[in-house]
Amino acid sequence: MHSDSFLDLCRAAVGPSNVLTDAADKAPYLTDWRRRYTGDALAVLRPGNTDEVAAVMHACHAHRIAVVPQGGNTGLCGGATPAGGDAAARGVVVVSLQRLNRVRQVDPLNNTITVEAGVILQQLQDVAREHGRLFPLSLAAEGSCTIGGNLSTNAGGTAVLRYGNTRELCLGLEVVTARGEVWNGLRGLRKDNTGYDLRDLFIGAEGTLGIITAAVMKLFPAPRARVTALAAVPSPRAALALLAIAQSHASAMLTGFELMSAMCMELVTRHFPQLRYPFAEHHPQVVLLELSDSEGEQHARGIFETMMEAALDAGVVTDAVVAESVQQSRDFWNLREHIPLAQVEEGKNIKHDIAVPISRVADFIETTDALVQDAFPGARMVTFGHLGDGNLHYNVSPPAGVDHDQFLQHQDAINLIVHNSVQAHDGSISAEHGLGQLKVEENRRYKSEVELAMMRAIKQALDPQHLMNPGKVV
């Protein structure tokens, strides 16, 4: 039988124990961690190295079997879960990269690390630290997401302001193509102009053009100190003014700039009363700032003092606390990191991962809040995010007393209001989470036909049989 001969090829390639066909064995790979997407697949394949990935892809290509690449399965848009119904599932496999988990090389002098796709982000951070280096990518799922997934979704996180997205942290890739060929593009070079930028094409393609199997990532000298501060500001507009002041005083030392609305802090302090909130009262907006200093803590504290004085003088900041210890810095970050958890405690809300030009963030919030209030009076805005990148998690909770599940019926209407406003502010409807299967249709609404046509042409060029991660991105 067709699928039997295919599975035999796979068993020969990766060993029988790494071809999962039993429903219970497959299950963890077929549902995303938030349990929003469930698909089915003929099998889950677990290759252990690049050659095995190539062998598997070669078999898939020969048998016209579609491939869903998967890393830590922590995505938020269903990009790593098979899409489509049962019929489609007969022609689909999940290829898990988790067994490709070796650190191949650390080169401290070149400030690079070469890792396989299945290496967990936190492990990468740890290895860098052991070599006196920083790998700056940091995000909520870092304990279980893989660098291959980070690359495929061009993950963002909390240090983009200084170090860029995952894209900017990558120098070279190893990729297995849709035809099962290995492209060794594992260059550790800061400059290389010898042809088209294939690397950046595979980054952020969510596995629809090929499978990333390894990467050369940038490292940075570890800062001698990191110091955090919280500043109370009267409005998003004031937060933007504070950003300009902070950048002028701290330049590249400014590694974090996170905005949190009063509603966010109210939820966090209510649901997690054990967290230490340093202000006596709630403020309209709170900003978390982080400085990373190559000199030391005293120097960073000095910069903060000058900066906050300038901000208080300019009327931009109404109150500010600079962390006195590593523990207090940790406490401040805890407030920020508990916002998503507090939202879970509070009940479901309607989430958006958007970006606009930094200069338009305040306009966006004011305009969009008004539009949402107009349509859904009393809706509560849980807005927070990476203001230094213009990236907001713009989440809408039901008015007090309204059932959360019931409110979710308005999801499409609210998405439309928010995304139309994003478009009007020259923004992006997916800043750091990717498109996956969640936003493919929505993306078509906002992208020009010229751009969509180029995307389709590239898909056709690199994956002419459309076997790579069908139903995602394009």
- Centre a 10 Å sphere on the Cβ of residue 415 and count the other Cβ atoms it contains: 17
Phi, psi at 343, each rounded to 5°: -65, -40
Residues in the chain: 474
The verdict on 465 binding a copy of itself (CB under 8 A) reads no
Looking at beta carbons only, is 98 or 430 nearer to a copy of itself? 430
- Taking the complex as a whole, the smallest distance from the CB of residue 444 to a copy of itself amounts, in Å, to 10
Which one among 427, 438, 468, 470 touches a copy of itself, defined by CB under 8 A? Answer: 427
CB of 132 to a copy of itself, least distance (A): 8
Write the binding mask 139 to 178 for a copy of itself: x where contact by CB under 8 A, - elsewhere: --------------xx-x---xxx-xx-xx--------x-
Residue 231: C-alpha distances to residues 44, 56, 134, 158, 279 (Å): 48, 53, 26, 17, 9
> How many residues in the shown chain lie near a copy of itself by CB under 8 A?
95
User: Using CA atoms, how far apart are residues 455 and 93, in angstroms rounded to an integer?
Assistant: 24
- Candidates 25, 51, 197, 412; binder of a copy of itself (CB under 8 A) is 197
User: Which residues in 98-127 contact a copy of itself (CB under 8 A)?
Assistant: 107-112
Task: Tell the smallest beta-carbon distance from residue 439 to a copy of itself (Å).
Answer: 8
When asked if residue 218 is in the footprint of a copy of itself (CB under 8 A), the reply is no
Q: Concatenate the DSSP letters of all residues of 86-137 into one string.
A: HHHHTTEEEEE-TT---EEEEETTTTEEEEETT-BHHHHHHHHHHTTEE---
Among 180-188, 274-282, 325-333, 339-347, the segment contacting a copy of itself (CB under 8 A):
180-188
Q: Scan residues 355-414 and list those touching a copy of itself (CB under 8 A).
A: 355-360, 386, 388-391
- Whose Cβ is closer to a copy of itself: residue 118's or residue 436's? 436
Residue 130 tokens read as: 């052991």
Tokens coding 355: 């970006």
Q: Exposed, middle or buried by CB within 10 Å (0-12, 13-18, 19+), for 130?
A: exposed
CA 131-121-46 angle, to 5 degrees, is 120
Indicate the SS3 state at residue 236.
helix
Stretch in the footprint of a copy of itself (CB under 8 A) among 135-143, 260-268, 318-326, 431-439: 431-439
> Which residues lie across from 120 on neighbouring strands?
146
Q: Closest distance between a copy of itself and the C-beta of residue 21, in Å?
A: 31
Four-residue CA torsion sign, 187, 193, 198, 200 = positive
- Kindly write down the DSSP assignment for every residue of 362-426, as one continuous string: HHHHHHHHHHHHHHSTT-EEEEEEEGGGTEEEEEEEPPTTS-HHHHGGGHHHHHHHHHHHHHHTT
Under the criterion CB under 8 A, does residue 420 sit at the interface with a copy of itself?
no
The span of 328-336, 342-350, 376-384, 421-429 binding a copy of itself (CB under 8 A) equals 421-429
| Smallest gap from residue 418 Cβ to a copy of itself (A) | 15
Q: Which is nearer to a copy of itself, 47 or 172 (CB)?
A: 172
Query: Least distance (Å) from a copy of itself to the CB of residue 249?
Result: 6
Shortest spacing between CB 393 and a copy of itself, in angstroms: 12
Query: Of 137-145, 194-202, 332-340, 396-404, which segment contacts a copy of itself by CB under 8 A?
Result: 194-202
Q: Which stretch binds a copy of itself (CB under 8 A): 121-129, 139-147, 243-251, 399-407?
A: 243-251
Task: Indicate whether 3 belongs to the interface with a copy of itself (CB under 8 A).
Answer: no
Site for a copy of itself in 255-314 (CB under 8 A): 292, 294-295, 303
Site for a copy of itself in 320-359 (CB under 8 A): 355-359
Assess 189 for contact with a copy of itself (CB under 8 A): yes
* Cα gap 212→405, rounded to integer Å: 38
Give least dist CB 191 to a copy of itself, A: 4
Determine which helix (DSSP H) or strand (DSSP E) holds 69, and give its type and residue range.
Answer: strand 66-70
Q: 313 or 451: whose CB is closer to a copy of itself?
A: 451
Indicate the residue among 338 and 433 with the shorter CB distance to a copy of itself. 433
The enclosing H or E element of 248 equals helix 236-250
CA neighbor of 224 nearest in space, from 163, 292, 326: 292
Of 44 and 161, CB closest to a copy of itself: 161
